[in-house]
Amino acid sequence: MTCPRCKIDLEQTLFYNTAVDYCPRCLGMFFDEEELRWAKDAKDKNLVWLDIDLWKDERKFRLNYGVRLCPSCRLPLYEVYYGASQIIVDVCNVCHGIWLDRGEFKKIVNYLKEESDQKLLNKYGNSMLEEFKEIFSGPETLREELADFLVLLKLLNYKFLAQHPKIAKAILQLPK
Ligand SMILES: [Zn+2]
Ligand SMILES: [Zn+2]
């Protein structure tokens, strides 16, 4: 797989049983559908923070043709905007994969920290972090953000996968 920005090969690292493809240069990340589904099976009782607005309301989605190519399918990704969040996520309408720029990752994490219950988020992140820290073999720069990453992975799964039929429909309605 190739980074949509740098055009170099993505590398793969394991978060527990979840393989994540990332670019060693720009640290962008690609999540394929299977990777997103993983979080669904995890038994987790602290999901109250998922009630935040991000990606919840289908009327707040805006779409655009993107210029980057899906690392997996090599077809153009669509840019998905959400409300006033200023977060842009690149979505593939073929494999349902999601590309996240480093900058978007940070924006989402900041959004979460502003909008959600900070105490709950920390508790959730820290308990998972202890479990995963030893297993993680990726670069140090990602390791530092492991808790944020795991929280984000959950959010992507619950919100983005649930909204995918609506995103696919919006893609069909884009002017040609
Ligand atoms: Zn890159
Ligand atoms: Zn794809």
pLDDT tens digit string along 66-106? 999 999 999 999 999 998 888 999 999 998 889 999 999 88
Give the number of the ligand closest to the Cα of residue 7.
1
Q: Please state the domain extents for the chain.
A: 11-172
Give the number of the ligand closest to the Cα of residue 10.
1
Note the pLDDT tens digit of each residue in 8-37.
999 988 765 667 788 989 989 998 877 666
Note the pLDDT tens digit of each residue in 52-70.
788 888 889 899 999 999 9
Note the pLDDT tens digit of each residue in 101-160.
999 988 988 888 787 777 777 776 666 666 666 556 667 777 777 777 777 877 887 787
Q: What residues have CB less than 8 Å from 22, skipping those under 6 apart?
A: 10, 11, 12, 13, 28, 29, 30, 138, 142
Q: Ligand 2: distance of its center to the CA of 29 in Å? A: 13
Q: Ligand 1: distance of its center to the CA of 12 in Å? A: 13
Q: Which residues pair with 90 in a beta bridge?
A: 79, 99
Cα torsion for 18, 63, 26, 140, to the nearest 10°? Answer: -40
Distance CA 52, CA 4 (A): 29
Check residue 11 and give its pLDDT: 92
Give the number of the ligand closest to the Cα of residue 29.
1
Check residue 48 and give its pLDDT: 64
For residue 172, count other CB atoms closer than 10 A to its CB.
7
Q: Ligand 1: distance of its center to the CA of 64 in Å? A: 21
Q: Which two three-digit tokens encode residue 87?
A: 């977060």
Q: Ligand 1: distance of its center to the CA of 102 in Å? A: 9
Distance CA 162, CA 176 (A): 26
Q: Ligand 1: distance of its center to the CA of 49 in Å? A: 30
Phi-psi region of 82 (alpha: psi -120 to 50; beta: other; left: phi over 0): beta
Give the number of the ligand closest to the Cα of residue 23.
1
DSSP states along 46-71: --GGGGSSTTT-GGGEEEEEEEEE-T
Distance CA 169, CA 116 (A): 29
Q: Ligand 2: distance of its center to the CA of 120 in Å? A: 34
Q: Ligand 2: distance of its center to the CA of 127 in Å? A: 32
Distance CA 131, CA 93 (A): 33
Secondary structure class of 5 (helix, strand, coil): coil
Query: Chain centroid to CA 133: how far?
Result: 20
Note the pTM of the prediction, 2 decimals. 0.82
